């Protein structure tokens, strides 16, 4: 390890600069030793800005650095597979942004390589580490709602509601773009975490803004990735789960999960459109009672809160990754959970294309 600290290389400098770099620099056990950008001048500029000793413009350079113990990848999804494959084959521990890859075969291949090379992996499914969500999970585990009757999830945001927002990889289905990859990947992970496996699903994926301007020429280019997803899942225990996700809903209500059971109701939600982590509150009611806000226990509180809400749960992801490395076994959320999320995403596309319910296979 780099000195007494765990040496990390940062690959991906958009979300990486906003969340990964501040997260690793705030963590007491990690040290960022290198940063990658395909443009060496940009890599050098980012390294200088964040006091990172090494700037690299190729993945080979990263792999040749002896002080790199693990790599954090936050590039666009179409780059994940090849980059992660190189890291895992070199035996580097891996922290990967969602969505895992472009399809479940790629995700399974990465998972297999991680096991073969004894590389410890973690996926940045950060909602598992947000205080209100952790209390919500505990109440569900304590059977607060009893036998579940209905789960209703709305995630309605305006991040891409402006039709003049430029065309890029996000507009292209083949590059992993769209609301299903950006938001649905999270939703599929937390449905499995909170409620268990999915038995079958049906999906309708649509595109409200079919063209966006090219950032260089200004001419309109076609968008074939989804910006709204309507999904119905039937869980393994029979519970129906209805999901509506959209990135083009001006004044959308935010992110809400409602769970209705024969003993009670739980509602977790945030209407914060500017920060998708800050602002979650939790309400509950036993049968016959009024819905009232539940105070979030101090035991779940972040040690430090940042202006960007995504950083504090990311630090907890780093914690989990390091604990896994200490134990030499990946703890959830790892590439194993990344495969499951990717599987459900693939099946959602299949359902949308065939107009049918799709059974979820065991893997």
Task: Tell me the DSSP string of 155-215.
Answer: EE--TT--TTSPP-GGG-GGGT-SHIIIIIHHHHHHHHHHH--EEEEEEEEE-S--EEE-T
| Residue ranges of the chain whose pLDDT lies below 70 | 1-3
Say if CB 55 and CB 40 are below 8 A apart.
Answer: yes
Per-residue model confidence as pLDDT tens digits over 314-351: 999 999 999 999 999 999 999 999 999 999 999 999 99
Rounded Cα distance, 329 and 324, in Å: 5
The pLDDT value given to residue 3: 55
Pick the CATH number of 127-298+342-359 from 3.40.50.10740, 3.40.640.10, 3.30.360.10, 3.30.565.10: 3.30.360.10
Rounded Cα distance, 207 and 210, in Å: 6
The pLDDT value given to residue 214: 97
The pLDDT value given to residue 70: 98
Q: Where are the domains of the chain?
A: 6-126+312-334, 127-298+342-359
Q: What is the pTM of this model?
A: 0.97
Residue from 278, 286, 285 nearest 255 by CA: 278
The pLDDT value given to residue 363: 76
The pLDDT value given to residue 4: 84
Q: Which CATH architecture has domain 6-126+312-334?
A: 3-Layer(aba) Sandwich (3.40)
Per-residue model confidence as pLDDT tens digits over 112-155: 999 999 999 999 999 999 999 999 999 999 999 999 999 999 99
The pLDDT value given to residue 294: 98
**Structure-derived torsion over alpha carbons of residues 332, 335, 337, 340, reported in degrees to the nearest 10:** -170
């Amino acid at each position: 390890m780099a000195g007494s600290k765990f040496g990390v290389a940062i690959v991906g400098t958009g979300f990486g600069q906003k969340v990964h770099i501040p997260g690793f620099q705030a963590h007491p056990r990690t040290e960022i030793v290198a940063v990658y950008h395909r443009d060496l001048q940009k890599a050098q500029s980012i390294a200088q800005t964040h006091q990172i000793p090494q700037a690299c413009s190729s993945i080979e350079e990263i792999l040749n650095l002896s002080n790199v113990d693990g790599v954090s990848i936050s590039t666009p999804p179409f780059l994940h597979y090849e980059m992660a494959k190189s890291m895992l084959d070199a035996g580097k521990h891996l922290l990967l942004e969602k969505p895992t890859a472009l399809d479940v075969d790629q995700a399974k291949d990465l998972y297999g390589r991680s096991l073969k090379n004894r590389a410890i992996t973690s996926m940045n499914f950060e909602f598992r580490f947000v205080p209100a969500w952790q209390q919500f999970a505990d109440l569900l585990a304590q059977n607060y709602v009893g036998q579940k009757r209905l789960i209703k999830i709305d995630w309605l945001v305006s991040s891409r509601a402006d039709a003049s927002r430029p065309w890029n990889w996000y507009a292209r289905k083949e590059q992993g773009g769209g609301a299903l990859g950006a938001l649905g990947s999270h939703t599929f992970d937390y449905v499995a975490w909170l409620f268990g496996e999915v038995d079958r699903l049906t999906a309708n994926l649509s595109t409200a803004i079919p063209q966006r301007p090219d950032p260089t020429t200004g001419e309109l280019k076609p968008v074939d990735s989804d910006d709204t997803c309507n999904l119905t899942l039937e869980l393994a225990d029979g519970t129906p789960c209805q999901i509506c996700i959209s990135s083009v809903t001006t004044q959308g209500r935010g992110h809400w999960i409602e769970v209705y059971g024969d003993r009670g109701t739980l509602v977790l939600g945030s209407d914060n459109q500017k920060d998708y982590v800050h602002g979650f509150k939790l309400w509950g009611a036993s049968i016959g009672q009024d819905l009232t806000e539940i105070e979030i226990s101090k035991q779940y509180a972040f040690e430090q809160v940042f202006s960007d809400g995504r950083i504090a749960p990311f630090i907890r992801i780093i914690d989990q990754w390091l604990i896994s490395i200490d134990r030499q076994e990946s703890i959830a959320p790892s590439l194993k959970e990344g495969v499951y999320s990717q599987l459900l995403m693939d099946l959602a596309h299949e359902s949308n294309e065939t107009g049918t319910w799709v059974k979820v296979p065991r893997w």
